[in-house]
Amino acid sequence: MSGAGIANVTRERYLPSPGRGVAATMTTAYVGNGLRRIEMYGEESSSDTIDRHTERYSEDNGNTWSEWAPRPNMKYWQGDIQMELFDFAWGYDPVSQRTIHTTLRRLYIGEDKTLWDNMYDHTFYQLSEDEGRTLSEPRLLRYEDGPAFDPDDWAKAEYVRTNISYGGYNLPALSNGTIINPFTVTVQEANEAGEIEDLEGVACWIGRWNEAAQDYDWHVSEHVAVPLSVSSRGLMEPFIAELQNGDLMMEMRGSNTDVTPGRKWYSVSCDGGETWTEPTDLCYDDGEQFYAPSTFAYMVRSSRTGKLYWVGNISPVPPQGNSPRYPLYIAEMDEELHALKRDTLTVIDDRDPENDSAGLQLTNFSLFENRETGHFELYLTRLGERVESTAVSQDFWTADVYRYTLELTG
């Protein structure tokens, strides 16, 4: 940790692991523009797949909760094809007065359901007029011509091969009356040798409410990408914040190469997300670059201080791919420089060598500002928290959900 610290952080165990080799997971969000909240619980025993989905709601900002209830099945089969659903973002649009919910539909096509080459992702959205109590039928978000999902033929080639996307984790309503959702998409660009490469890049769906249609008119921004020579897996998992001057800043996850360090990337839009600056590495306000593993980060504005804050992992050493995923920091953002204010860096959590394994992961969290207290609440599963665990052991997955309360001090 450096600097005086900008938040008092408290950590408490929120939901315990259900048993050895199984991690408790939870995502949470406000549903609508009031105090209604949802918590979605699952159990994880291998990477990127969740079982035993349940949910509960609070009508009074988390003071009391409904009983946990099974969620509709999140895994389906059609012959030997598996479809898994993932919750992504909840947003609220004051123009339409609708809650918006995005989900990822992942198809596994092929005998080996663990191969990334056999996975096909598409992003869908639903609308609600009653704070998520009822939701419209899912609608495919498109960026190119292609058919809708066919419930009778999931693997229809025209659908599977078009509009492949990995949706973003936030859906901000912008001051210009639109909503925006960033997403990861494969793009083709020429490298320095003039060869065409397939890159993981980022683009945005921009929606404007159509009152007559009772739906959004969507279009897609230009994409941003970097060569594989500087980020071996391209750019992924974008997150957008509107700056005080009305510009947009999009932060993105990258990865290291043999000759370039792992770092965070960002791009800026001055026209509501239509066009973006060339992506560059996120730095401190003194211009120095910092190391970061290939993990996502959040940006959140405090209604109390008016300031924008960044929450994510910063590494003391050059990371290798996704690791190490600690410490976890909060820092104030300099909105003119598009940089982290170094003297505000504050540790939220870090590895305790006596109790945590070297594989500890302080990532994949939910974060929001409590609408009554003004504190930030962060919910995270501390994968690998038990000191005897390794990435392939049962104990790695024996992990609890923790709640962190961040009370800003300045």
For residues 237 and 300, what is the distance between their CA atoms, to the nearest angstrom?
16
* Distances from the Cα of 121 to the Cα of 183, 206, 212, angstroms: 11, 19, 31
Q: What is the pTM of this model?
A: 0.95
Q: Look-up: residue for tokens 């999009």?
A: 250
Q: Which two tokens stand for residue 226?
A: 């970097």
CA 247 from centroid of its chain's CA atoms: 21
For residues 181 and 199, what is the distance between their CA atoms, to the nearest angstrom?
20
> Where would I find the beta strands (DSSP E) of 61-212?
69-70, 75-78, 81-93, 98-108, 119-128, 139-140, 166-167, 179-190, 196-210
Task: Give the torsion sign (CA, 6, 40, 315, 10).
Answer: positive
Peptide bond into 238 cis (omega under 30): no
Neighbours of 286 (CB within 10 A): 11
For residues 34 and 90, what is the distance between their CA atoms, to the nearest angstrom?
13
Q: Look-up: residue for tokens 């920091």?
A: 329
pLDDT, one tens digit per residue, over 372-390 is 999 999 999 999 998 665 5
| Radius of gyration of the chain, Cα coordinates, nearest whole angstrom | 21
Q: What is the DSSP letter of 157?
A: H
Q: Which two tokens stand for residue 89?
A: 């973002």
Are 204 and 222 in contact by the 8 Å Cβ rule? The answer is no
For residues 120 and 115, what is the distance between their CA atoms, to the nearest angstrom?
11
Nearest to 140 by CA among 235, 218, 237, 238: 218
Are 345 and 283 in contact by the 8 Å Cβ rule? The answer is no
Residue 56 backbone phi and psi in degrees, to 5:
-150, 160
Report DSSP letters for 373-408, one per residue. T--EEEEEE-BT-STT--TTSGGGG-B-EEEEEEEE
Q: What is the DSSP letter of 271?
A: S
Domains plus CATH for the chain? 7-408 (2.120.10.10)
Residue 243 backbone phi and psi in degrees, to 5:
-85, 170
> Where would I find the beta strands (DSSP E) of 129-195?
139-140, 166-167, 179-190
* pLDDT less than 70: residues of the chain: 1-4, 111-116, 387-394
Confidence (pLDDT) at 115? 53
End-to-end CA distance of the chain: 17
Confidence (pLDDT) at 301? 98
Q: Look-up: residue for tokens 């008119």?
A: 217
* Distances from the Cα of 123 to the Cα of 161, 184, 398, angstroms: 13, 10, 30
Are 311 and 333 in contact by the 8 Å Cβ rule? The answer is no
For residues 117 and 330, what is the distance between their CA atoms, to the nearest angstrom?
35
Report DSSP letters for 287-322, one per residue. S-B-B--S---EEEE-TTT--EEEEEE-BSS--BTT
For residues 44 and 22, what is the distance between their CA atoms, to the nearest angstrom?
6
